[in-house]
């Protein structure tokens, strides 16, 4: 059986398989061609169609997507990249990979995302790019500063690892045409390839740079290589092509995605209603009609105690994420970010994964309520 049908409240997140993935991988295996093949190209086309964009470039991971997007934006040594500290460490590592300097900024505590004002305040002569993180699936609207950014040649690279499928107005995230958008198709993302990622470029030139970079800087296609005795290495590159095996999984996932979208929204609304009567619990809100929620997060006092109590009861709570500016590896870029630090102490992610393994929400919420009461003594059902 691919997905156990029992509710799974022990894990914070888990992949959801629709059932045809194994057959699709077997078929790709039998073809004898595992690298970048027509399967990978079909996956790119299908993602582009789904999002309503001209092109999409598949890579091996969300981290590789961010890395190649930064290269396409020509960010490098001496440049600053504006980024929230509240993100997965991959966002920061991608900036360091191109030799640029992360400039950490604050978040809006209500959404855990940056806003245009926070970005604008951090712009300097050295800013090459800004990387908004679409935290939990929330679109980030920088249109108010679009002209400022364009005038200064600052490229927007969206870390949309959480946001596959989310809408911004009438368009899907990735279809704005004003940003390079990076998706992750890692194991627990909204859509999975096992491991994988995708960049939505703004221009054909950006697409070319990313396609060359993911192929070790080589420009020829497989077909060309079969018919010539040499190949051309035209620039820097890494082995970042998405394999046909991973793309085959992604194609099956995309076919089932509508169900995933509906289930995630339904789960999130169910949590919202169940959490509403609890005192001392602030849900990190999301416009669930627009976003495909990736996480269900609350903010609470005594988070560490509550976390330990829930883990003790086998409830798979998590923390997304410890702020990056407090990580030892990024100490050189440390700044004072009180909102982020406070969020880092209060956020708790509740088990959130898809049908038919969706968590037993009553059990999670009841356990949370009990853990809060014993941790702080101040929480419980609200009274009028
Ligand atoms: C998962 C994730 C990434 C990295 O994606 P991988 O596919 O794991 O490399 C980057 N940013 C955020 C916010 C993520 O959640």
Listed residues 207, 230, 255: the one ending a domain: 255
Listed residues 255, 273, 291: the one ending a domain: 255
Distance 240 CA to ligand 1 centre (A): 15
84 CB within 6 A, ligand 1: no
Contact yes or no for 360/5 (Cβ under 8 A): no
- Domain membership of residue 127 (yes or no) is yes
In this structure, are 65 and 202 located in the same domain? yes
In this structure, are 244 and 292 located in the same domain? no
In this structure, are 91 and 41 located in the same domain? yes
Contact yes or no for 129/180 (Cβ under 8 A): no
Quick one: pLDDT at residue 222? 62
Predicted TM-score of the model (pTM): 0.96
162 CB within 6 A, ligand 1: yes
113 CB within 6 A, ligand 1: no
The residue whose C-alpha atom lies closest to atom 6 belonging to ligand 1 is 62
Quick one: pLDDT at residue 176? 95
In this structure, are 237 and 126 located in the same domain? yes
- Domain membership of residue 302 (yes or no) is yes
Provide long-range contacts, Cβ within 8 A and 24+ apart, for 212-218. Answer: 212/237, 213/68, 213/71, 213/72, 213/237, 213/238, 213/240, 214/57, 214/59, 214/60, 214/64, 214/68, 214/238, 214/239, 214/240, 214/241, 215/36, 215/239, 215/240, 215/241
Quick one: pLDDT at residue 231? 86
- Domain membership of residue 50 (yes or no) is yes
* Burial class (CB within 10 angstroms; exposed 0-12, middle 13-18, buried 19+) of 248: buried
- Domain membership of residue 14 (yes or no) is no
In this structure, are 142 and 289 located in the same domain? no
Per-residue pLDDT of the chain (384 residues; tens, 9 = 90+): 466 778 899 999 988 889 999 999 999 999 998 888 899 999 999 999 999 999 999 999 999 999 999 999 999 999 999 999 999 999 999 999 999 999 999 999 999 999 999 999 999 999 999 999 999 999 999 999 999 999 999 999 999 999 999 999 999 999 999 999 999 999 999 999 999 999 999 999 999 999 999 999 998 766 666 778 888 999 999 999 999 999 999 999 999 999 999 999 999 999 999 999 999 999 999 999 999 999 999 999 999 999 999 999 999 999 999 999 999 999 999 999 999 999 999 999 999 998 878 899 999 999 999 999 998 755 445 433
- Domain membership of residue 2 (yes or no) is no
State the residue range of the domain holding 51.
Answer: 21-255
Quick one: pLDDT at residue 384? 37
In this structure, are 222 and 89 located in the same domain? yes
In this structure, are 168 and 297 located in the same domain? no
Structurally, how many domains does the chain consist of?
A: 2
Distance 65 CA to ligand 1 centre (A): 9
Listed residues 229, 255, 281: the one ending a domain: 255
In this structure, are 128 and 269 located in the same domain? no
In this structure, are 357 and 246 located in the same domain? no
Query: Which positions are catalytic?
Result: 189
How big is the chain by its Cα radius of gyration, in Å?
21
The residue whose C-alpha atom lies closest to atom 5 belonging to ligand 1 is 62
In this structure, are 181 and 280 located in the same domain? no
In this structure, are 208 and 263 located in the same domain? no
Residue of 62, 136, 253 best suited for mutating to test ligand 1, as the one with most atoms within 8 Å of CB: 62
HSE, side-chain direction, 13 A CA sphere, residue 201? 22
In this structure, are 176 and 299 located in the same domain? no
The residue whose C-alpha atom lies closest to atom 13 belonging to ligand 1 is 88
- Domain membership of residue 381 (yes or no) is no
- Domain membership of residue 193 (yes or no) is yes
CATH number for 245: 3.40.640.10
């Amino acid at each position: 059986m691919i997905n156990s049908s029992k509710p799974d409240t022990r894990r914070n997140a888990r992949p959801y398989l629709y059932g045809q993935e194994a057959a699709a991988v077997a078929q790709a295996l039998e073809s004898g061609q595992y690298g970048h093949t027509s399967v990978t190209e079909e996956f790119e086309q299908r993602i582009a169609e789904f999002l309503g964009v001209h092109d999409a470039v598949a890579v091996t991971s969300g981290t590789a997507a961010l890395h190649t997007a930064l290269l396409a934006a020509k960010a490098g040594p001496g440049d600053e990249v504006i980024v929230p500290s509240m993100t997965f460490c991959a966002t920061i590592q991608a900036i360091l990979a191109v030799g640029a300097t992360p400039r950490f900024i604050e978040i809006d505590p209500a959404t855990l995302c940056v806003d245009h004002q926070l970005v604008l305040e951090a712009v300097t002569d050295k800013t090459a790019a800004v990387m908004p993180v679409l935290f939990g699936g929330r679109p980030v609207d920088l249109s108010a500063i679009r002209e400022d950014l364009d005038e200064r040649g600052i490229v927007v690279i969206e870390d949309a690892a959480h946001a596959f499928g989310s809408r911004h107005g009438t368009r899907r995230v990735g279809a704005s045409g004003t940003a390079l958008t990076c998706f992750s198709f890692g194991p627990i993302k909204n859509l999975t390839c096992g491991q994988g990622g995708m960049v939505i470029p703004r221009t054909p030139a950006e697409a070319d740079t990313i396609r060359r970079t993911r192929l070790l800087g080589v420009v020829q296609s497989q077909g060309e290589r079969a018919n010539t005795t040499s190949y051309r290495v035209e620039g820097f590159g890494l082995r970042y092509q998405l394999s046909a095996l991973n793309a085959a999984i992604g194609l099956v996932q995309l076919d089932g995605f509508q169900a995933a979208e509906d289930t995630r929204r339904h789960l999130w609304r169910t949590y919202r209603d169940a959490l509403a009567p609890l005192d001392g619990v602030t849900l990190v809100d999301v416009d669930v009609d627009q976003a495909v929620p990736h996480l269900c997060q609350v903010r609470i006092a005594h988070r560490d105690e509550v976390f330990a109590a829930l883990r003790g009861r086998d409830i798979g709570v998590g923390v997304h994420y410890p702020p990056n500016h407090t990580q030892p590896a990024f100490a050189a870029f440390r700044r004072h970010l009180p909102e982020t630090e406070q969020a880092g102490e209060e956020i708790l992610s509740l088990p959130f994964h898809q049908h038919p393994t969706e968590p037993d929400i009553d059990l999670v919420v009841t356990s949370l309520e009990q853990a809060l009461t014993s941790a702080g003594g101040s929480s419980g059902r609200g009274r009028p």
